[in-house]
């Protein structure tokens, strides 16, 4: 029998502006760590608020659970009050960075900004997780044009070598966060993911489009996570609220490990 090497599932925890204290952050992280470090088939990445990164880094052992950041400055150094650079993140041994999350785009971040953030991140060997997604899914499929524009404007400047270093997270905005009614359906996500690969194939090549890691995010919990991993054509998940509940997040990780 041919032994086909199973690709690891990539499960990203986006803690957003939570929790309130370092003590709670350590407690949640320790809960996640117990499970994440045991799983061979899952790469877990926890993206806490910047302020907890250094302390949590002391709790990291091995490569199965690593830290990421939720954003990065477009600039490398200088007078940018409140911002954190890719150089600083690399210095803090961060491996991944979420770029262009809808909660940042909603505050004025453009795809041009996202393109710059991807570039500064790659320069420091951080893996960018680039979020794209429409705010509504209209019947005339105009959301596909929106998605195409977001992808083209965010990624057009990348070389073939660089595009293969990034991860795309499809996060339909209407399915993200406390105001979401529900997650997307795995079938509709599969369609959107196929469309994203089509756009990538036109921009780069079919080979690249098929080999890119694409994640789904938006109202993922321990009941629906496997439907997406099994049926939506994605290689992992970006998890918000459920990643702050160690028990629930651990179930998501354990389930992903078995797929
Ligand atoms: P949610 O957030 O899982 O709470 O919907 C996902 C995200 O914002 O990445």
pLDDT one-digit tens code per residue, 130-153: 999 998 888 888 899 999 999 999
Mean pLDDT over residues 102-110, rounded?
Answer: 94
CB 85 within 8 A of CB 74: no
pLDDT per residue over 153-185, tens digit each? 999 899 999 999 999 999 998 888 888 878 888
Output the CA–CA distances (angstroms, integers) from residue 254 to 5, 25, 38, 39, 64, in the order listed. Answer: 19, 21, 9, 7, 13
Mean pLDDT over residues 21-30, rounded?
Answer: 98
The pLDDT of residue 5: 56
In this structure, the residue with its CA closest to atom 3 of ligand 1 is 240
Mean pLDDT over residues 117-138, rounded?
Answer: 95
Residues with CB under 6 A from ligand 1: 14, 171, 176-177, 180, 217-220, 238-241
In this structure, the residue with its CA closest to atom 6 of ligand 1 is 240
The pLDDT of residue 28: 98
Mean pLDDT over residues 85-111, rounded?
Answer: 96
- Ligand 1 atom index nearest CA of 12: 9
Q: Which of 63, 171, 190, 202 is catalytic?
A: 171
Q: Is 171 an annotated catalytic residue?
A: yes
Mean pLDDT over residues 85-93, rounded?
Answer: 98
The pLDDT of residue 241: 96
The pLDDT of residue 1: 46
What region, left, alpha or beta, does residue 177 occupy, with left being phi > 0 and alpha being psi -120 to 50 degrees?
Answer: left
Cα 120 → chain centroid: 17
Ligand 1 test: best mutation among 176, 234, 249, most atoms within 8 Å of CB? 176
The pLDDT of residue 195: 96
The pLDDT of residue 6: 65
Residue 77 pLDDT level (bands cut at 50, 70, 90): very high
Q: Which of 24, 63, 101, 140 is catalytic?
A: 101
- Ligand 1 atom index nearest CA of 175: 5
Q: Is 136 an annotated catalytic residue?
A: no
Percent of the chain with pLDDT over 70: 98
Mean pLDDT over residues 34-42, rounded?
Answer: 97
Rounded distance, CA 232 to CA 169, Å?
Answer: 13
Rounded distance, CA 121 to CA 99, Å?
Answer: 9
The pLDDT of residue 69: 98
Q: Could you tell me the distance, in angstroms and rounded to a whole number, from the CA of residue 35 to the centre of ligand 1?
A: 21
| H or E segment to which residue 97 belongs | strand 96-99
CB 9 within 8 A of CB 42: yes
Q: Which two tokens stand for residue 256?
A: 């992903």
Q: Could you tell me the distance, in angstroms and rounded to a whole number, from the CA of residue 205 to the centre of ligand 1?
A: 30
Average pLDDT, the chain: 94
């Amino acid at each position: 029998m041919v032994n086909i090497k199973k690709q690891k599932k990539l499960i990203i925890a986006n803690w957003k502006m939570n929790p309130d204290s370092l003590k709670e952050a350590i407690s949640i992280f320790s809960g996640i760590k117990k499970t994440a470090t045991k799983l061979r088939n899952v790469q877990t990445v926890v993206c806490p608020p910047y302020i907890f990164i250094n302390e949590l880094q002391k709790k990291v052992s091995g490569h199965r659970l690593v830290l990421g950041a939720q954003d990065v400055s477009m600039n490398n150094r200088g007078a940018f009050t409140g911002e954190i650079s890719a150089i600083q993140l690399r210095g803090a041994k961060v491996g991944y960075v979420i770029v262009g999350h809808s909660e940042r785009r909603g505050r004025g971040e453009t795809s041009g900004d996202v393109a710059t953030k991807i570039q500064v991140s790659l320069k420091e060997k951080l893996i960018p997780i680039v979020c794209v997604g429409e705010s509504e899914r209209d019947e005339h499929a105009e959301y596909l044009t929106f998605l195409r524009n977001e992808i083209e404007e965010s990624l057009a400047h990348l070389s073939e070598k660089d595009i293969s270093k990034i991860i795309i997270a499809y996060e339909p905005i209407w399915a993200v966060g406390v105001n979401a009614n529900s997650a997307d359906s795995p079938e509709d996500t599969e369609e959107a993911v196929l469309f994203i690969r089509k756009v990538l194939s036109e921009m780069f090549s079919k080979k690249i489009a098929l080999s890119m890691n694409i994640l789904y995010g938006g109202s993922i919990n321990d009941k629906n996570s496997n439907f997406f991993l099994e049926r939506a054509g994605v290689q992992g998940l970006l998890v918000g609220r459920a990643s702050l509940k160690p028990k629930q997040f651990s179930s998501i990780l354990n389930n992903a490990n078995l797929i």
